[in-house]
């Protein structure tokens, strides 16, 4: 995974061969950074809708879903005089070019869709080893060797399960307090329970969403929630997009949820809430002793 740099892609092809099984993925952060630049001349409200359209494409669950969505989006943009130029740029750069693989379905749930961790490691090298100055090759090789030696003895835990961020934990706590997350699991005496024989490990979680207020000084909206629990418009939207009337079906044994946020991150507020409802202690699905 990298940014839209032809030299990097050519290096992958030259080293591994054009017929190898490696797939060159595009960093979604870099896609959005370039999109922001191109939308500066577009009216704010229209720009927000374009951003929402691109996030919908990013969260497409399959290649077939993406193909259908991108046709609809490009057609819609073509009908607006403010977006004709942007539509041509987006189609040329991010739809038909070699750097088109920036959608979630290219990677398993929970895997990174940006190369930010690599960028952070590059920052470490510049900060601690090269000290942000240029060096001769011999000196640089020695500095990189020192980095390799230090990193190899630094204990790092290989995590096999996603961990909830402080933001998600705070979000569940706040939403639960305000009844924005509700347990809608059919009771044992209900008709639905008697007819459907529901999975005992399943919790129906109804997400009611969080209201937003527009802040003119910031030029954008913000959730009416504590700062620690706030989430961007488009990621918050994926918590509720396509939610069934009875709420999301969350399996606390399989650790799955049907929302699009879970599809990308392999964790979500609905799963964390369901684990609390079932009194499970964590993402390993174990009950408290």
Q: Which two tokens stand for residue 128?
A: 């601690």
Q: Which carries the bigger pLDDT value, residue 116 or residue 66?
A: 66
| Predicted TM-score of the model (pTM) | 0.83
SS3 145: helix
Q: Which two tokens stand for residue 20?
A: 């190898």
Alpha carbons 244 and 37: distance in angstroms, whole number: 36
Alpha carbons 110 and 14: distance in angstroms, whole number: 30
Sign of CA dihedral 44, 225, 230, 180: negative
User: 176-213, pLDDT tens digit by residue?
Assistant: 999 999 999 877 666 665 566 567 889 999 999 999 88
Output DSSP code: residue 232: -
Torsion angle, alpha carbons of 56, 62, 65, 70, to 10: 60
pLDDT of residue 21: 80
Alpha carbons 259 and 268: distance in angstroms, whole number: 8
The CA-atom distances, in angstroms, between 218 and each of 47, 213, 214, 215 are: 15, 11, 8, 5
pLDDT of residue 185: 86
User: 88-132, pLDDT tens digit by residue?
Assistant: 999 999 999 999 999 999 999 998 887 777 788 888 999 999 999
């Amino acid at each position: 995974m990298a940014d839209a740099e032809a030299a990097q892609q050519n290096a992958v092809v030259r080293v591994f061969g054009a017929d190898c099984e490696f797939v060159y993925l595009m960093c979604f952060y870099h896609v959005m950074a370039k999109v922001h630049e191109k939308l500066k001349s577009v009216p704010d409200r229209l720009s927000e809708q374009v951003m929402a359209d691109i996030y919908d494409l990013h969260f497409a669950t399959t290649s077939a879903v993406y193909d259908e969505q991108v046709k609809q989006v490009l057609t819609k943009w073509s009908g607006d005089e403010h977006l004709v130029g942007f539509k041509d740029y987006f189609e040329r750069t991010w739809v038909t070019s070699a750097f088109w693989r920036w959608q979630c379905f290219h990677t398993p749930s929970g895997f990174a869709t940006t190369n930010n961790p690599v960028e952070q490691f590059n920052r470490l090298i510049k900060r601690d080893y090269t000290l942000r100055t240029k060096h001769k090759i011999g000196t640089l090789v020695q500095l990189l060797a020192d980095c390799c030696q230090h990193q190899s003895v630094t204990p790092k835990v290989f995590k096999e399960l996603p961990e909830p961020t402080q933001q998600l934990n705070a979000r569940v706590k706040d939403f639960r307090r305000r009844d924005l997350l509700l347990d809608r699991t059919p009771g044992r005496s209900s008709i639905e329970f008697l007819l459907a024989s529901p999975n005992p490990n399943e919790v129906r979680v109804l997400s009611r969403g969080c209201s937003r207020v527009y802040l003119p000084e910031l030029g954008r909206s913000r959730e009416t929630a504590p700062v620690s629990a706030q989430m961007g418009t488009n990621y918050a939207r994926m918590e509720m997009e396509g939610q069934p009337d009875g709420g999301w079906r969350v399996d606390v044994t399989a650790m799955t949820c049907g929302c699009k946020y879970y599809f990308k991150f392999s964790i979500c507020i609905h799963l964390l809430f369901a684990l609390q409802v079932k009194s499970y202690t964590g993402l390993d699905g174990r009950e408290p002793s």
